[in-house]
């Protein structure tokens, strides 16, 4: 669950920068958004791997 909470945290941080970039025209916010999107992608990949590992584990246990 901690990794899911990390995703929520990143998304919450992105909301502020989205507003700054699109509504206020701050280019630095766009840079932060790109960095946050990359971090989001990495966290999502970790979660996908964890899910796949759990599926394999369950299958090998006969569940």
Q: What is the pLDDT along the chain (63 residues), one digit of tens a residue?
A: 899 999 999 999 999 999 999 999 999 999 999 999 999 999 999 999 999 999 999 999 986
- Residues with Cβ within 8 Å of 26's Cβ and at least 6 positions away in sequence, in order, are 20
Domain range for 15: 2-61
pLDDT, residue 63, reads 62
* Number of structural domains in the chain: 1
Q: Which residues contact 3 (CB under 8 A, 6 or more apart)?
A: 43, 46, 47, 50
Give the pLDDT confidence score for residue 51 in this predicted structure.
96
The predicted structure's pLDDT at residue 62:
81
Is pTM beyond 0.85 here? no
Closest residue by Cα to residue 36 from 4, 55, 9, 56 = 9
Query: Dmax over Cα atoms in the chain, in whole Å?
Result: 55
Rg over alpha carbons for the chain, rounded to the nearest Å, is: 16
């Amino acid at each position: 669950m901690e990794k899911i909470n990390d995703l929520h945290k990143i998304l919450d941080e992105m909301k502020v920068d989205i507003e700054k970039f699109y509504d206020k025209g701050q280019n630095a916010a766009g840079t932060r958004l790109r960095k946050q999107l990359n971090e989001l992608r990495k966290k999502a990949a970790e979660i996908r791997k964890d899910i796949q590992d759990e599926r394999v584990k369950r299958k090998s246990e006969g569940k």
